[in-house]
A and B are shown apart, each in its own frame.
Chain A
Amino acid sequence: MRAIAILLVCAALAWAQPGRRGRGGPPAHAAPLNPAEVEQGEELYNQSCTMCHGLKGTVGDRAPALAANRRYLRATDAALFDAIKNGIKGTLMPPTPLPDADIGKLVAYIRSLRASAVDAPVNGDLTRGGAVFDGKGACRQCHMVDGRGGLLGPDLSSLGAERSLRYIEEALTRPKAHIPRGYQPVSFVDAEGRRVRAVVKNETNFSLQLLDEAGRLHLLLREEARGLRYEEQSLMPADYDKRLTAGEFQDLLAFLSRRARSRGTR
C-alpha cells in the first residue's frame, strides 16, 4: 500500500512540470454547488486522492481527512485550488497536472463533503420524505420540526443548515458511540413510587435537570433522583437503512437535508 502511494506521489510530482500549469486563476469562492460538477469531482477524487485522504475524505491515513470534523487550514475555494494545483511544500501533497477545470471540480467535491446538507446535492422527494418522517419513520414522535413534534430528541427544523449530509446519513444508520449531551436516557422513581423515563438535559455531581416522556421537567438534586438508572442505548434508532426501503430512505434524507430555517424553507 505504502509503496503504491509513494509511486503515485512520485508520478504526480513528475507530471507537475512548470510549463504544464494551467493559466486560469482559482474560481470565485462559494458559488452554489453544481451537482454535475460535484459528481465529476468525485470521480476525479476517487482516481487521485483517496489513497491519502480516504474514501469520501473520511480516513486521513497520510493526509488530513478532508471532510472530518476539524478546523481546516484551507477553507476557501482559492486556498483549496492552490493546494491542489501547486501542492503543499514540505508535505507529501503533490502538485497536480490536472487542468484547472478539473481542479475546480475537485474543489467543488471537497466543498460538498464539508458542506452543510442543505448545500449538498441530494436525490429524493421532499414530500414523500415528509410523509416518511411523520409516518413509517415515526421521527416526529421524538423530534420537532417547525414547532410540531416530540420533545425528547433534538429539534430538526434547521438540521440541513447545521449538519453535513454524511452526518445525517450516519445518524440514521449507525449507532452513535456516545449518546450526545442533552439526550442521555435515564429512569428514576418519583415521589409516588412510579418509574419515570426521561432524558438528561443537564447534570452535575449534585443536580439533574430531566425531561420526561410526557414533557415534564424534573429539577432534582442527586439524592432526590431515587433509583436513577442510565440507559446504555440512545433512544434514536440507527437502522433506518433497514427499516425503510432504499427509496424511502433517500426521500427521508432529502427531507431532512432541506430543513434550513435561515433559508426560509419552513
Chain B
Amino acid sequence: MKLALVLTLAAWGAAAQVTYPDLVKADPRNWLTYQGPYHARRHSLLDQINARNVRDLVPKWVFHVPGASRLESVPIVVDGVMYVSQPNEAYALDGRTGRLIWEYRHEPAMQRGPNRGLAAYGNRVYMGTPSAELVALDARTGSLVWKAKMAEPEEGYWSPAAPLAIKDKIIAGIAPGDHGLNGFLDAYDPNTGERLWRWHSIPKPGEPGNETWAGDSWKTGGGNTWLTGSFDPELNLIYWGIGNPAPDFDGDVRKGDNLYTESMVALDADTGRMKWYFQFTPHDVHDWDAVEIPVLMDAPFDGKPRKLLAQANRNGFYYVLDRADGQFLLGTPFIKQLNWATGLTPEGRPIRAPGIVPSLEGTRTCPPTAGATNWHSPAFNPDTGLFYVVATEGCGINYKARDTFRPGGFPFMATGYIEDPEEPWQMYVRALELTTGKLRWEYQQIGSKRYGAGLLSTAGGLLFAGDEQGALTALDAATGKPLWHFNTGQQITASPVSYEFKGKQYIALAAGSNVIAFGLHDPAAEQASE
C-alpha cells in the first residue's frame, strides 16, 4: 500500500507534458497555442500534405460538439491529443481517430460565448469561462485543478480568448468591449492560479494616458482584450491588441485619443509593464477593436534587418511596426472600399475624411463595424514572403445617440449600426507583400459576405481557408489558385491547424458544430483506422 501511494504521488508530480522550451521550440508535430508557435504566423512546417498531393486529402474523422452552433475554438494538439472547447466546455480527443478521451463542463454555466480555445502548460490545459474565471484542468482526465476569478461576471465580464502559456505564467484576456467595462490583461501562476500581475488597458488618473480621456469618461472606457496575442521569447514581450472604447459610437462624451483602446501594446512578460504602444485608431467611433492577431517575423525593412510585427486591422489598414520599440514602419489599406480616412501621417495616424462619423440620421461607413477583418486569424508564409488575410469589402450605416452607462453588463454602445444584408458585401483571401502591403493575389470567396474563417499556411506550399459557405479550401500559397476543397456543411468561423501523429500529417478545424480532421487518403491504412 505504501509503495503504491509513493508511486501515485510520483505520478502526480510526473515530468511536465508541455514545457516552456517546448513552447519556444514549437515542434511542428504539435499545435501548442491558439496561434501555433508564439510568433502567430500560423505557418506549419509540416509538408507531408503539399501542393502535389493535396487532391488526395480526405476527412479522417468528425467529432460533433454537443449543443454547439458556430464554434470559434481553435484546437491545440499535444502529442496526438487534441483539446478543443466551446463556452463552459472542454474536450480532449484522440487526434488520430477523433474519439473522446474526456470532457469538462464548467459551473456555473453562464450563457455567453464564444470560447476560442485553450492553452497547454505542464500536465494541464487552461481555459477562460463565461463566468470570467480561468480554469486549470488536468490534461489527462479533465479534472478541475484550480479556478481563478478574473472579474465579476455579474458586472458583465467574461473570458472568451484562448489563454497564452508563457514561462511560468498563463496570460488571459477579458471581454466584452461594448459594455463600458474597462479591460485588462492578467498573468496567473500555472500551478496555483494566483494572479501575478494585471495590466489595465485604461489608465487611471495620475497615470500616463489618462489625459486622453475627457473628464470621468475613462471610468467606462472599455478597451478589452478578447483575442489572444503573440509573444517574443527573446525580447520577453507580450503583444496584445486592445479593443474599442465605449460608448462605441458616441465619441462626444469621451473626447481625446482614448488610450490604450485600439492599440497594440507590448508588455514585459515578467512584470506586465507596458514597454510601448501604437494606437491604430485614436478616438475610434466605429467599434473597430484592434484585437486582430499581431504576427511576428524578422525581415529586412528599408534594407535593414528588423524585428517586425504585422497586423491587418479591422479599420482597413495593414500595418507593419518594429516590435522592439513600436515604431510605425508602414500602413496601407488592404481593402478598396475605405472612406473614413484619406491616408496615414508619417507617424501612422489616420487622416480623417470629414463627416465620416456616426450621426443621428446614419452615416455610410466603409469598412463597416464588422470590419475589414476580424477575429479570424491571418497567416504569414516565410517561403513566399506573403502575409495572408481574410478581408471584407463592404459598408455599413453607423448611428449615434446619447447613452447612459448602467452597471450589470448592459450594452453601452450609444446605439449602433446597420449592416444591410442586401448590401453587396464580399469576402476575399488576400495575399499581401509583407513589407509593402501590395496585393499579390486575391481569392474571392463566392457567397461569403461576413465573419469569415481564419487561415493556415503550410510548408507544403498551401494556404487553407474556410468560408461562410462551409467550404474548406486549399489554395496555392504562391498564386491563390484553389487546389482542393471540401464542403463541411456548416459555416466556418474558426481557424484551421495542422499537426502530425504517428507519422501522418493532419489538417483540422472546427466547422460549425463539428471538429473535422483531414489527412491524405491511404488505402492500406484506412482498413485499420476508424
Residues of A within 8 A of B (CB): 138, 140-142, 144, 147-151, 155, 157, 201-204, 206-207, 209, 211, 213-217, 219, 221-223, 261-262
Contacts and interface: CB of A to CB of B under 8 A. Distances in A.
Contacts of B5: 138, 141
A213 B7 contact: yes
A207 B140 contact: no
A204 B530 contact: yes
Nearest to B97: A207
Interface string B107-137: 1100000000000000100000000000010
B99 A202 contact: yes
B101 interface: yes
Contact of B146 (A147, A211, A214, A222): A147
B325 interface: no
17 contacts: A144-B143, A155-B142, A155-B144, A204-B99, A204-B530, A206-B528, A207-B529, A209-B99, A213-B11, A215-B11, A219-B81, A219-B94, A219-B97, A219-B501, A221-B96, A261-B107, A262-B107
B530 A206 contact: yes
Per DSSP, chain A at the interface is: mixed
Contacts of A206: 97, 528-530
A202 B99 CA distance: 7
Contacts of A147: 136, 138, 143-146
Interface in B76-106: 79-81, 94-97, 99-102
A194 B12 CA distance: 22
B11 A151 contact: yes
B528 A221 contact: yes
B11 A223 contact: no
Given A211-B140, A211-B141, A262-B108, A141 B80 contact: no
Contacts of A144: 138, 141, 143
B4 interface: yes
Nearest to B99: A202
Interface of B: 1, 4-5, 7-8, 11-12, 14, 79-81, 94-97, 99-102, 107-108, 123, 136, 138, 140-146, 501, 528-530
A9 to B, nearest CB: 44
A217 B81 contact: yes
Given A141-B8, A217-B81, A207 B94 contact: yes
Contacts of B99: 202-204, 207, 209
A236 to B, nearest CB: 14
Contacts, number: 94
B81 A138 contact: no
Nearest to B193: A147
Contacts of A138: 1, 4-5
A219 B95 contact: yes
Nearest to A205: B530
Contacts of B1: 138
Contacts of B102: 201
A209 B143 contact: no
Nearest to A156: B143
List the 3 closest A-B pairs by CB distance, nearest first. Answer: A147-B145, A155-B143, A207-B97
Contacts of B101: 201-202, 209, 211, 217
B140 A215 contact: yes
Contacts of B528: 206, 221-223
A49 B151 CA distance: 51
B7 A151 contact: no
Nearest to B98: A207
Nearest to B4: A141
A34 B530 CA distance: 53
A228 to B, nearest CB: 15
Given A151-B138, A201-B100, A219-B81, 9 more contacts: A138-B5, A141-B5, A147-B146, A206-B529, A209-B99, A213-B11, A217-B81, A221-B528, A262-B107
Contacts of B100: 201-202, 209
Nearest to A153: B141
Contacts of A150: 8, 11-12
B80 A219 contact: yes
A141 B2 CA distance: 10
A191 B1 CA distance: 29
A157 B147 CA distance: 13
A117 to B, nearest CB: 17
Given A201-B101, A217-B101, A157 B81 contact: no
A207 B14 contact: no
Contacts of A149: 12
A216 B94 CA distance: 13
Nearest to B80: A219
Nearest to B141: A151
A215 B123 contact: yes
Contact of A217 (B7, B107, B140): B140
Nearest to A182: B102
Most chain B beta-carbon neighbours within 10 Å: one of A214, A217, A262: A217
A261 B96 CA distance: 34
Given A214-B11, A214-B14, A207 B123 contact: no
Contacts of A215: 11-12, 14, 123, 140
Contact of A209 (B8, B11, B12, B94): B94
A225 to B, nearest CB: 12
Nearest to A142: B8
Contacts of B95: 219
A57 B138 CA distance: 38
Contacts of B146: 147
A157 B145 CA distance: 10
Given A155-B141, A155-B143, A221 B529 contact: yes
Nearest to A144: B143
A207 B530 contact: yes
A206 B140 CA distance: 21
A249 B34 CA distance: 47
A262 B108 CA distance: 7
A86 to B, nearest CB: 38
B173 to A, nearest CB: 24
A168 to B, nearest CB: 19
A108 B438 CA distance: 75
A157 B11 contact: no
A141 B528 CA distance: 36
Given A147-B143, A155-B144, A217-B140, A207 B96 contact: yes
Contacts of A142: 8
A175 B528 CA distance: 36
Contacts of B4: 138, 141
A101 to B, nearest CB: 36
Given A147-B144, A151-B138, A219 B96 contact: yes
Most chain A beta-carbon neighbours within 10 Å: one of B11, B80, B108: B11
A217 to B, nearest CB: 6
B144 A157 contact: yes
A202 B142 CA distance: 14
A203 B100 CA distance: 9
